[in-house]
Amino acid sequence: MKPTILIFFCALSVTAQAQHTPMPNFSYTPKPDMSFSNFMAMNAMFHNYRYYGTVSQKHKFKVLMKDSSTLELVAKIDADSLTRYLVYTDRSVKRSDSGRTKKIYPSQTISISRMDQYGAPQITGIAADSCWLFPVLRGQLISAYAALAEDEIDDGFLLYFQAKDGPLIRLTDDNLEAAIKGNEKAERLLKKKKYSRAINKFNSVLEK
C-alpha cells in the first residue's frame, strides 16, 4: 500500500482538560466549495513545496479517549477534506466485513501518543477540532507543531509555533519574523522560507 500524502489543516478549539497551553481559535479547514485537490494545490503554492516528501506512516499509537479509557493500536493518520483521523484494521472483524476498517477522530479523544518498540511514548499530539497537534520541533526558545507524528516533517506541514510557555501562534512569515527578530542568521533563513532551520538557528543561541 502506498503511503498517504496528507494536506495540512487544522481547526482548533481545545478544552482546558486537553491542553494547558492557550491556543488560538483558528480554522484551517477548506471551504465547502473548494475541491480537495485544489485545496492541496493552493497550500502547496502558498508554502512553496510539493505534495511529496512528508508522508503518514503506520505506527503503534496509544489513544486517550474522552471518557479516559485508552486504546493501543497500529494505525496511521489519514485525512479527508474536513478532518484528520486515525485509521486502523479491527482484526476481530471478518475480512469481508466493511466494518473491519475503523476510524478514530480528534473530537473523540484527548490525545494520541506514538509509541516506540518498548511501549514508551515518543511524541504526543493534543486533540483539536480537526487534527492532533504534535510538537515536532522542540526548543528552549521556540517549538513548532504539526498535525503528523513523523520524525521528518517538511516545513510546509508546520502549523503553529510556541515561544517558551506562551500561546500557540499560527506559523506565518510575519508572525515568526516577529518572534526571531534580532537574530540576523535566523531572519535570513526565514526569508528563504526555511522555517525549521530558522527556528533551530534562533534556538541555538542558548547552546553557545
Q: Are 187 and 179 in contact (CB under 8 A)?
A: no
Structure confidence by residue, pLDDT tens digits, 66-84: 999 999 999 999 998 899 9
Tell me how far apart the alpha carbons of residues 76 and 182 are, in angstroms, rounded to a whole number: 40
Q: Alpha carbon of 147 to those of 106, 122, 185: distances in Å?
A: 11, 15, 28
Structure confidence by residue, pLDDT tens digits, 88-140: 999 999 988 989 999 999 999 999 999 999 999 999 999 988 999 999 999 99
Q: Are 107 and 121 in contact (CB under 8 A)?
A: no
Q: Where are the beta strands (DSSP E) in the chain?
A: 59-65, 70-79, 84-89, 101-104, 109-115, 121-127, 132-137, 142-146, 158-163, 168-170
Domain boundaries, the chain: 1-164, 172-208
Average pLDDT across the chain, whole number: 80
Task: Check pLDDT > 70 for residue 190.
Answer: yes
Answer left, alpha or beta for residue 156, where phi above 0 means left and psi between -120 and 50 means alpha: alpha
Model pTM score? 0.75
Confidence of residue 56 (pLDDT cuts 50, 70, 90): confident
Task: Check pLDDT > 80 for residue 29.
Answer: no
Residue 26: predicted pLDDT:
37
Q: Cβ–Cβ contacts within 10 Å for residue 196, how many?
A: 15
